[in-house]
Homo-oligomer: A and B are copies of this chain.
Amino acid sequence: MENKKVTLVGAGLVGSLLSIYLAKRGYKIDLFERRPDMRKANISAGRSINLALSDRGWKGLEGVGIADEIKKIAIPMYARAIHHKDGTTVHQPYGKDNQAIYSVSRAEINMRLMDLAEQQKNVKIHFNERCTSINRKNMEAEFENTETNSTTKIKSDLLFGSDGAFASSRLNMQLSNDRFEYNQHYISAGYKELIIPPGPNGEFLLEKNALHIWPRGSFMMIALPNMDGNFTCTLFFPFEGEKSFASLQTREQVQKFFEEEFPDAVPLMPTLLDDYMNNPVASLVTVKCFPWTFDNKIGLIGDAAHAIVPFFGQGMNCGFEDCVVLNDLIEKHKEDWSEIFPEYESLRKPDGDAIADLAIANFVEMRDKTADPKFILQKKIEARFNSKYPDKWIPLYSMVTYSPQIRYSTALKEGQKQEAIMQKIMAITDIENKWDSEEVEKAMLNSIK
């Protein structure tokens, strides 16, 4: 087992972490990455939505002892800071006490993970290597070097596709595997990245320890803090329609729109117009597929198996959790991949589907409901009930974010039950004034029986 060879396609977040897990078990890993080495080339990881690390992600990092290393580049966010159109800001805590999600730059964490992977003597990362084919019969993968155009063929005992939402490894399976279930769906909104730079002395110009949201119904802007005092802003905006990327074409239109919609942000965005005109619009895809494993020798993991939209902040966390699940199964089945792979995909697929659906639903929550007093009241009632009966009610957001012991699929089902109960509770006459009454508490206790 010591010398079992593994090919990993994709040295993104999940590929890099998986290589560390496998290296610690004695596998010999060749990790192929399409892009140049971003640690040398100063090239972005392709997308730079800041990421929010939460408990499932931390658990994945702790599993190989690197959580502390990553914590150094992570900024805790304890609350949503909701920016209303009138310029006022309201805080909505993300959980109890010190519960937080952690802002990390995608590029930063990826570079650290590559460093940590290379510290394993049995991991080698090959850059500028594009996967062009995977021969399932002889387990030979072919890579083309994007600089030299030379071709490398490599055989291995196992192969993992960790090459993201548009995985060439998965495409290879789509084309070679009979009865491959495949679904790619785009939401009608895209995103554009903008920036709020630090103040003159490098200080944060918005509250540092919060995830900032400007919810505007059919669209929103968010901002997450970076270590250097910047905030990465992201405008999530419909492609078409009255207020959309299509309708904002000139600098004047952009200026007017931002002043109207995000009046408190505009003074903090000196390069707004240039950024808006120059930065690309990216689309947001959900990918569902099955199977995730092939011939008990090839597996898909992370976005390659289940790409999701970013609105629950769970893409990376889910991918890291994949590594934990896989590692537990390697342990359980004593390296017998004919047992590991079938259980991996049957166990994990419902969770991938669940977080995909939860992420879509959370877009509506973030862009629309966070500004709705009724919704805020509902969350207050749930939080109050949770603090009195923590074993009877864990809010959906907390199940997903702070409760790695609860599966995504369980969280989805529980969340649906909770929502049905809360609709009845919110329909109680005069709920605004008696939300913290014994009557409401009793009604909830009765509902969950």
Contact = CB atoms under 8 A, between A and B. Distances in A.
Interface of A: 171, 174-175, 178-186, 239, 283
Nearest to A185: B181
Copies in the complex: 2
Contacts of A178: 283
B183 A183 contact: yes
A181 B183 CA distance: 8
A181 B179 contact: no
B183 A283 contact: no
Given A181-B184, A183-B184, 9 more contacts: A174-B184, A179-B186, A179-B283, A180-B186, A181-B186, A182-B182, A182-B183, A182-B184, A183-B183
Contacts of A181: 184-186
A179 B239 CA distance: 11
7 smallest beta-carbon distances between A and B, as pairs: A179-B186, A183-B183, A182-B184, A179-B283, A178-B283, A181-B185, A181-B186
A186 B291 CA distance: 12
8 contacts: A174-B184, A178-B283, A179-B186, A179-B283, A182-B182, A182-B184, A183-B183, A183-B184
A221 to B, nearest CB: 21
Nearest to A182: B184
A239 B179 CA distance: 11
Nearest to A284: B179
Nearest to A287: B182
Contacts of A174: 184
Contacts of A180: 184, 186
Contacts of A171: 175
A180 B186 CA distance: 7
Nearest to A186: B179
Nearest to A285: B179
Nearest to A190: B179
Contacts of A186: 179-181
A174 B184 CA distance: 10
Contacts of A182: 182-184
A166 to B, nearest CB: 9
Nearest to A187: B179
A185 B175 CA distance: 14
Contacts of A179: 186, 239, 283
Nearest to A281: B178
A382 to B, nearest CB: 35
A171 B174 CA distance: 11
A109 to B, nearest CB: 27
A370 B191 CA distance: 51
A171 B186 CA distance: 17
A444 B185 CA distance: 41
A259 B23 CA distance: 56
A294 to B, nearest CB: 15
Contacts of A283: 178-179
A179 B282 CA distance: 10
A185 B179 CA distance: 8
A182 B185 CA distance: 7
A381 to B, nearest CB: 38
Contacts of A175: 171
A307 to B, nearest CB: 13
A175 B180 CA distance: 17
A283 B174 CA distance: 14
A339 to B, nearest CB: 19
A85 B181 CA distance: 34
A240 B175 CA distance: 22
A57 B182 CA distance: 30
Contacts of A185: 181, 183
Nearest to A239: B179
A349 to B, nearest CB: 15
Interface centre among A171, A175, A179, A185 (most CB of B within 10 A): A179
Contacts of A184: 174, 180-183
